[in-house]
Amino acid sequence: MMKFDREDHFFPGHFDDQIASPVKESHLRRAPAAGAGRIALIGCFRPRQCGIATFTADIFDHLGAHSPHMEIDVYAMRSQPDQPVGAEVRQAIDEKSIDSYRDAAAAINASGADAVWLQHEFGIFGGSAGDMILELVDRVAAPLIVTLHTVLAEPSPAQRHVMDRLVSRAGKLVVMSDYGRMTLTDVYGAAPDQIALIEHGTPDRPYKEVSALRRTLGLADRPILSTFGLIGPGKGLEAAIRALPAIVARYPRVLYRIVGATHPNLVAAEGESYRDSLERLAQSLGVAGNIAWENRFLDTEELLDQIELCDIYVAPYPNLQQITSGTLAYAVALGRAVVSTPFVHARELLADDIGLLLPGTGSDAISEAVLMLLAAPDERRAVQHRAYARGRRTAWGGIARQCAALIDDLVTAPEATPTGQRGPALAGVWAMCDDVGMLQHAVHMLPDRSHGYCIDDNARALMLVHSLPTRMQEEAAPRARAFAGFIQHGWNPDVGAFRNFMGYDRRWLEETGSEDSNGRTLWALGHASAHARDAGMREWAAGLFDRTAPMVRDFKSPRAIAFAVLGADERLDRDPDNGLARPIIERGGAFLRALWKSARRPGWDWFEASLAYDNARLAEALIRAGRRLSSRPEEAAGLAALDWLATFQTASRGHFRAVGSESFDREGEALPFDQQPLEAWATVAACGTAFALTGQSVWRDHAETAFAWFLGRNDRGVALGDLSSGRCLDGLTPRGVNRNSGAESILAFHLAYRTMAGMFWRGEAVAAEPRQGSTVPALAG
């Protein structure tokens, strides 16, 4: 887990409106769906003329037919802003516009999509190696599926960057060959269970040994070879044309049909010069009369008719690393005899004598294989029958079933269970402790001694103990003394500040900690001075608070100032005339209100130009300052900011979506991952404060929504907190959860529960009306 214990400062800026509408829901885990309800499908799409467009359209058609309950929103890539898109397209994405990718991500998040399915090919996205697609990938909250139409064993640095990011973000990576699967694990380090092998879908037509169309076109008695698809140098057509003289010498009436338009990108770059060069080559070899050019892009049904015309399909591709060929898959599925160079997809698809696999890419090998099949019609028919049988495994009906199962497996959430009022077991907290205090990190469930301790976690742990009922506080008294002793030892009088990090060898690693860690420690002291049941502990905490409080005058970090305000407010609960605490609240409240007034923009009602960690504490501190000082403007500003934040962090489907740690310092937006338990606790606590002061049920709703995040009502439908063990996982990630369970996460879970139990589940009568006094009921942070 990452710790974000640093100073943060205000940077003004201009922002777009990104407020989502809040949706009230009860604090339950999401129930398992009968199947995903909405899918965002991204790729080229009809009427665009390319293989990815055809494939994406096939996914749309066949998955929709198989799963009619599923809504499929198409986000179509286009190479030019004026390129037309079909009526089925929900939104177009302009290849070279970063804003277009970001707008699409926002639309997908707002739609409540259950999953995002990206068709990836480097050349269809803008930027270096198509890296603009990452602008979308990084912003979508739903689980990501990526079909990789190219998997390079030796990528360029730019390609490697894109692939590494996709592997890190995707819940599932779909490949169409076993070679692709092995390359993902061996080269890119993808987890085996992350990869799904789903072959290229193909049409399911009855077998035709001889197409009736041959007779219509006057080709009934001619041997016909064919290659089809968009024309470009990567097709290897030169080798096939050079093989023709030897074939024509034995079979003068043979016809080689080259079906397909020149690739649009090639036409844009150089017109038809490449096709012209092929025609000149055929003319020079004396075989121009044996070639028929079908220079147009065919729709699927006509394309299938054209494939059925041929006796032999020739795949002369020179790139032997090509892992997918839709044209090859179509030819096999329609029962054509195939002659192919040994590229990756062909080696796998044509295994077991499904077709003839050449030893290389040379023209002589092509001509020999074709001549053998033409000379042995019985063997050619046997190959065709084997090919057709193999093609039944890739028929779109079966492929659609595999795709639907993949989606359902990825998006199905745990069963719905109420959070209840049972608290998480304190054993989860104590398991991270020793006689020094609380260790900060863990590897899975085991404390990680290599990272030692920090005052942040010991301060939070002290707050937790003093949030417990009296009997439990008494039982936890030895732990409280250890946490307090750590804090006391952390004070460095030479510099007038607390240290933060300590190694496992009990040596401090610094002379002073960050402002935030010092503010958080002062907060814990104020909390202990007010809520410790033991009089000696209250006296100790009050004394150390008063001794260390002057350091706040030098704070510049908004969060450090907010933490100090929260601590000072607690200190005044026991000592209303404290001359050190009140100035902290006066200066802090004025600072935070001024910060909010200067930073807020239309659609961005916040203290800073970006969101970071512990965000709700800024609003909570301002609310408490306003109430303590009877300052309605400050209180109103804090409530307005908290309302904006709580709404902003509510997903379109009503669950809590904590701002991700990847968002820090990104002006005016919030990326969804990694989501941290600290943010959920801060929101629960701040909404508890707002509820106590106003009695408005909306704050209870927001608090329940944020607490339910711990128990599975989140973007991955996975519980991070476990009541039985008392542990909490370290964060919600694009691929699920961070399995480590460190101190910060465990404490956030427990402290959030203490607020819910103390404020909402057992304190409703107290909070039913707005408070008239100057203090707030005791909350767990």
pLDDT in tens, 279-332: 999 999 999 999 999 888 888 888 888 889 999 999 999 998 888 898 999 999
- Widest distance between CA atoms in the chain: 109
Q: What is the pLDDT of residue 420?
A: 58
Q: Which three-class secondary structure state does DSSP give residue 778?
A: coil
Q: What is the pLDDT of residue 16?
A: 29
In the block, tokens 């080259």 appear at 258
Give residue 422's pLDDT band: very low, low, confident or very high (50, 70, 90): confident
DSSP states of 155-175 as a string? Answer: --HHHHHHHHHHHHH-SEEEE
The DSSP element (H or E) to which 454 belongs, if any, is strand 453-454
User: Of all residues in the chain, what percent are helix, strand and coil, respectively (each to 5)?
Assistant: 50, 10, 40
Residue among 467, 401, 465 at smallest CA distance from 437: 465
pLDDT digits (tens, 9 = 90+) for 699-728: 999 999 999 999 999 999 999 999 999 999
Q: What is the pLDDT of residue 212?
A: 80
Q: What is the pLDDT of residue 302?
A: 84
The per-residue pLDDT of the chain, averaged, comes to: 90
Nearest-5° angle of CA 474, CA 479, CA 483? 125
In the block, tokens 């404390």 appear at 447
- Least trusted range by pLDDT, from 263-277, 370-384, 489-503, 594-608: 263-277
Give residue 266's pLDDT band: very low, low, confident or very high (50, 70, 90): confident
648: Cβ contacts below 8 Å, ≥ 6 apart: 18, 19, 20, 670
- Chain centroid, CA 395 distance in Å: 31
CA distance 779 to 527: 9
Question: Stretch 213-232: mean pLDDT, rounded?
Answer: 87
Whether the CB-CB separation of 642 and 688 falls below 8 Å is answered with no
- For residue 159, pLDDT beyond 80: yes
Whether the CB-CB separation of 750 and 430 falls below 8 Å is answered with no
Question: Stretch 476-492: mean pLDDT, rounded?
Answer: 97
- For residue 10, pLDDT beyond 80: no
Task: Kindly report the number of other CB atoms within 10 A of residue 737's CB atom.
Answer: 18
Give residue 216's pLDDT band: very low, low, confident or very high (50, 70, 90): confident
Q: What is the pLDDT of residue 413?
A: 54
CA distance 557 to 569: 18
Give residue 24's pLDDT band: very low, low, confident or very high (50, 70, 90): very low
Q: What is the pLDDT of residue 762?
A: 66
pTM of the model: 0.86
In the block, tokens 């696999």 appear at 357
Give residue 419's pLDDT band: very low, low, confident or very high (50, 70, 90): low
- Least trusted range by pLDDT, from 167-181, 729-743, 750-764: 750-764
CA distance 507 to 489: 11
Give residue 509's pLDDT band: very low, low, confident or very high (50, 70, 90): very high
pLDDT digits (tens, 9 = 90+) for 103-122: 999 999 999 999 999 999 99
- Least trusted range by pLDDT, from 101-115, 659-673, 725-739: 659-673
The one-letter amino acid at 332: V
Q: What is the pLDDT of residue 263?
A: 84
**What is the DSSP code (8-state) at residue 675?**
B
169 or 37, higher pLDDT: 169
Share of the chain above pLDDT 90, in %: 81
- Least trusted range by pLDDT, from 333-347, 404-418, 492-506: 404-418
Q: How far is CA 18 from CA 15, 603, 617, in A?
A: 9, 6, 21
Residue among 301, 781, 744, 245 at smallest CA distance from 500: 744
CA distance 291 to 187: 42
**What is the DSSP code (8-state) at residue 344?**
H
Q: What is the pLDDT of residue 215?
A: 83
Residue among 574, 650, 496 at smallest CA distance from 21: 650
Question: Stretch 240-267: mean pLDDT, rounded?
Answer: 93
- For residue 12, pLDDT beyond 50: no
Q: What is the pLDDT of residue 217?
A: 82
In total, the chain counts a number of residues equal to: 781
Share of the chain above pLDDT 70, in %: 92
- For residue 765, pLDDT beyond 90: no
Q: What is the pLDDT of residue 585?
A: 98
Give residue 764's pLDDT band: very low, low, confident or very high (50, 70, 90): very low
Q: What is the pLDDT of residue 772?
A: 35
CA distance 196 to 73: 22
Q: What is the pLDDT of residue 14?
A: 26
Q: What is the pLDDT of residue 211?
A: 84
The one-letter amino acid at 731: G
- For residue 1, pLDDT beyond 60: no
